[in-house]
Amino acid sequence: MLGTGLLASAAALALPAAAQSDLRLNDAGYFEARGVNVLVFSNWYDGLFADSKISGVEIVQQGERTATNGDVRLSATPGQWDPIGRLVKRDIDQKTGAIEALLEYPEYKFQYRIRAERRADGVHIAVILDSPLPAALAGKAGFNLEFLPSAYFHKSFLADGKPGAFPLYPAGDMIAGGERNAASGRDIGPGAEPLPMAAGKTLVLAPEDPARRVTVRATRGDLQLFDGRNQAQNGWFVLRSLLPAGQTGRVVEWTLSPNSVPGWLREPVIGHSQLGYTPAQAKTAVIELDANAKPAGPARLLRIDETGKAAVALSGTPKSWGKYLRYNYLSFDFSSIRQPGLYQLEYGGKQTHSFRIDPEIYADAWHPSLDVYLPVQMDHMLVNEAYRVWHGDSHRDDARQAAVSHEHVDLYRQGPTTDTRFKPGEHIPGLNVGGWLDAGDFDIRTQTQYAVIRSLVGIWEDYKPTRDQTLVDQDLRRVEMHVPDGKPDLLQQIEHGVLYLASMYDAVGYAVHGVVEPDVAQYTHLGDAASKTDGLAYDSDLKFGERKGNRSGTPDDRWVFTSKSSALNYGSAAALAASSRALRGYDDALADKALKLARAVWADEHSHAPNSFSHGNTTGGWLPGEEFAAAVELLATTKDPQYAARVTSLWPEIAPRFGQYAETALQALPFMDAGYRSKVEAEIRKLKANATPFTGANPYGVPITTGGWAGNGAVIQTGLTDYAIHKAFPALSDGSLVFRALDYLHGTHPGSDISFVSGVGTRSKEVAYGNNRADFSFIAGGVVPGVLILKPDLPENSENWPFFWGENEYVVNMSPSYIALVQAAIELGRK
């Protein structure tokens, strides 16, 4: 009876024609109705990674992007590293209300078109072939549309009227075989492919929920529904129609009907700092409104007393800012309120979570980053927190020489030679010490390592925070969180990074790109980092799985990529020179070694033409910029005039990119002449004269970037640069961008009001892309990339799906930069 009742009610709900009649192709280039958008290749991947879930046919429904990757794919539930078609061109015909994209799989000499046209009952999607499907793709190629699992948890579906439920945890049936692991490069056991959860000609998702109901009708081809999470935790629910062999023309045709809720309005977002404000700083809430929303009266600041009673501290009509992206914006300035206490904001019937006004608001905001996030990221250590082991002593078997002429995952590539004395596949001893896991994955990227070290050294030199809440024992390779050991944690973190940088020079004599997993199967590992490998150096004379002493026949060791790069060498030298200053008096032997290495790198690089090998973001930054950083850090450490001379000679190349190198340029001021100071001041005046963020005007007053990776790094850098200018030239800047950047990070940003620093603020990122992302969890003190702007106009940061790496992935260098920004705010507050 339950199934019959559900079927009857759902049948009435599944008639979407009236709700869809107002879908139109708008001027922004996507189909739009009240609360519903259908995008067709508005976004494409940036070339770094094949599948970041931001392209193809996509659905935005009642404020949330619920479907993506509507495209021809070569398996039912493709993973992140599986092949994807290449976009050739995209055309919009406003007269007929159609969008058409031409794509190809060049390796198969296969082109296809995806055409989307407005119809009375939705958007008609067709896959069009001018030539038959290549034989190699028969039974593999199909049109897929992926639906966000978290949007359909606790909801049902109907397949040709037959009811089913979306599983909260992957539980679909699998069939043995398939080629799922063929690209992994190692035998990890038999593969398996998913069987469909449901099939039919018409599928209705969430018939019981008008905000999530989507009806898909196949007029050519059959529909199958799959659960991709059995093969990968970041898999989605996939609706698929196979492309038929031997046919041309419209080989697959769907009508896509996402339900539009009449009169739907997105709730206002009251952007504010979830952490709070100092009494003296500027305090502005930015209110984000649905384009159809009307003014909702005054905004109010409420002060909460010890009984829970809320009294109005300030009330006023918000000031109109205008339209940005797809929303309208208002601002409410409450800077006049300086009384410490607990507050909430209210507008349009919505109240925010509580926040503080407190002169000491930033005093402990940086603690989670230093106490939790950085220790968790420490590689080659067992990291323990009370009853919890974050990971065991990881990667004791580092590292094997990478294969030559090999392009690897995650932007690593080895050139035609190893540039070392080691043969491809040979174990390189000594690299199993120090360093931080780069991000939500488990590689050590050298460029990130030296960025972290320089940030930590800057914090130490500028602020001397002696906080001690972490025990670090390098001899036992053990970390105990929340256990003081009598040593400043910041210096111990610097030491840990230097140990890794020094190990590269001890092992091969120069800076390597980093160490990374040998294959996709290991790269996608989730869980304890120490369980990724057996901790034993690979020995090709042993059988797979065989162990003898400290060696093993299992080739699970991470690879080290070693093609020489002068940019990496200079960047590493800069960090080594800087660290020698911070470590002086803490570990003099390591300080001496670091400086000796930095000097030697400089001398060697100036004895030959630069090694210009470059690939992705693993081989260092812009060469003149990296050399400039090395010159400045060596100058600050040694006061040797040869480095000052090189700073001067590099300046004409640095000046046009001053915004990127301002902090480093300002760092050199005490050691340079008046002429250099004048040149730097001139560039600062140019920078400050342009009050508009370099990415365009927005209501937040910070740069909001567009691209496949969201822009919190640029926001932090904006604040740090402004503070460096304020310190050196106080007449040119008051340093207020420090507070604006922190407000943005803590919740004054598009899309939501959540703090992007996990564990900091009343509501912060609790679902993020760390190594525990499969548990839909977070690491306190980690900073996520933030708001991803999906073209043309959708700001997104998902709090219910951690696997959007461009929005939610922690990267280890962000937390030290955040600590530096908070320290700057503390210093400004004292003034």
**DSSP collapsed to 3 states, 678-745:** HHHHHHHHHHHHCCCCCCCCCCCCCCCCCCCCCCHHHHHHHHHHHHHHHHHCCCCCCCCHHHHHHHHH
> Based on the structure, what is the number of domains in the chain?
4
pLDDT at 237 over 80: yes
| Same structural domain, 350 and 386 | no
Q: Show which of 609, 638, 667 is a domain's final residue.
A: 638
pLDDT band at 707 (very low <50, low <70, confident <90, very high): confident
Distances (CA, A) of 108 to 49, 84, 127, 406, 820: 20, 12, 17, 22, 50
Q: Which residues contact 465 (CB under 8 A, 6 or more apart)?
A: 366, 370, 459, 488, 490, 823
For tokens 């990130």, name the residue: 448
At residue 40, the 3 state secondary structure works out as strand
For CA atoms 431, 437, 439, 440, the dihedral sign is positive
Whether 615 is in a domain gets the answer yes
DSSP state of 352: P
DSSP state of 372: I
CA distance 240 to 393: 43
Supply 146's token pair: 């992926």
CA distance 159 to 550: 56
pLDDT band at 9 (very low <50, low <70, confident <90, very high): very low
Whether 413 is in a domain gets the answer yes
Q: Which residues contact 118 (CB under 8 A, 6 or more apart)?
A: 23, 24, 25, 31, 97, 98, 124
pLDDT band at 81 (very low <50, low <70, confident <90, very high): confident
**pLDDT for position 48:** 61
| Same structural domain, 750 and 808 | yes
pLDDT at 8 over 60: no
Determine how β-strand 284-289 pairs with β-strand 269-271: antiparallel
| Same structural domain, 522 and 379 | yes
Residue 352 contacts residue 270 (beta carbons within 8 Å): yes
| Same structural domain, 238 and 323 | no
Residue 175, judged by CB atoms within 10 A of its CB (0-12, 13-18, 19+), counts as: exposed
Summarize the confidence of residues 740-753 as an average pLDDT: 98
Residue 557 contacts residue 538 (beta carbons within 8 Å): yes
CA distance 296 to 167: 40
Residue 25 contacts residue 117 (beta carbons within 8 Å): no
What residues pair up with 788 in beta bridges, in sequence order? 796
pLDDT tens-digit map of 418-447: 999 999 999 999 999 999 999 999 999 999
pLDDT tens-digit map of 42-74: 998 865 666 789 999 999 999 999 999 999 999
pLDDT tens-digit map of 26-42: 999 999 999 999 999 99
| Same structural domain, 609 and 512 | yes
CA distance 742 to 276: 10
pLDDT at 716 over 90: yes
Whether 98 is in a domain gets the answer no
Q: Show which of 307, 332, 357 is a domain's final residue.
A: 357
CA distance 284 to 271: 9
What residues pair up with 114 in beta bridges, in sequence order? 101, 127
Whether 123 is in a domain gets the answer no
Whether 803 is in a domain gets the answer yes
CA distance 602 to 595: 11
| Same structural domain, 622 and 755 | no
pLDDT tens-digit map of 494-523: 999 999 999 999 999 999 999 999 998 899
What residues pair up with 164 in beta bridges, in sequence order? 157
pLDDT at 603 over 70: yes
Higher per-residue confidence, 16 vs 441: 441
Whether 673 is in a domain gets the answer no
pLDDT band at 179 (very low <50, low <70, confident <90, very high): low
Q: What range defines the domain where residue 810 resides?
A: 690-831
pLDDT at 20 over 60: no
Residue 493 contacts residue 156 (beta carbons within 8 Å): no
| Same structural domain, 522 and 580 | yes
| Same structural domain, 544 and 448 | yes
Supply 384's token pair: 């323990």
CA distance 401 to 426: 5
Determine how β-strand 110-119 pairs with β-strand 214-220: unpaired
CA distance 190 to 75: 17
Length of the chain in residues, anyone?
831
pLDDT at 17 over 90: no
**pLDDT for position 52:** 86
What residues pair up with 145 in beta bridges, in sequence order? 239
CA distance 495 to 434: 8
**pLDDT for position 692:** 80
CA distance 569 to 574: 9
Nearest residue to 10 (alpha-carbon basis) of 148, 164, 196: 164
> For the domain that residue 422 is a member of, what is the CATH number?
1.50.10.10
pLDDT band at 2 (very low <50, low <70, confident <90, very high): very low
Nearest residue to 380 (alpha-carbon basis) of 479, 485, 481: 479
pLDDT tens-digit map of 652-669: 999 999 999 999 999 999
For CA atoms 129, 135, 139, 145, the dihedral sign is negative
**pLDDT for position 46:** 65
| Same structural domain, 369 and 350 | no
Supply 654's token pair: 């640095």
Q: Show which of 288, 323, 357 is a domain's final residue.
A: 357
Residue 353 contacts residue 763 (beta carbons within 8 Å): yes
Higher per-residue confidence, 110 vs 8: 110
Mean pLDDT of all residues in the chain? 94
pLDDT band at 367 (very low <50, low <70, confident <90, very high): very high
Residue 93 neighbours by CB distance under 10 Å = 12
| Same structural domain, 517 and 540 | yes
| Same structural domain, 314 and 375 | no
Summarize the confidence of residues 605-613 as an average pLDDT: 97
Whether 125 is in a domain gets the answer no
Supply 599's token pair: 């000097």
> For the domain that residue 290 is a member of, what is the CATH number?
2.60.40.10
Of 178-187, 255-264, 369-378, 552-561, least confident by mean pLDDT is 178-187
pLDDT tens-digit map of 276-320: 999 999 999 999 999 999 989 999 999 999 999 999 999 999 999
Interhelix angle 641-654/623-638, rounded to 10 degrees, is 150
Whether 189 is in a domain gets the answer yes
| Same structural domain, 490 and 587 | yes
Nearest residue to 821 (alpha-carbon basis) of 723, 729, 688: 723
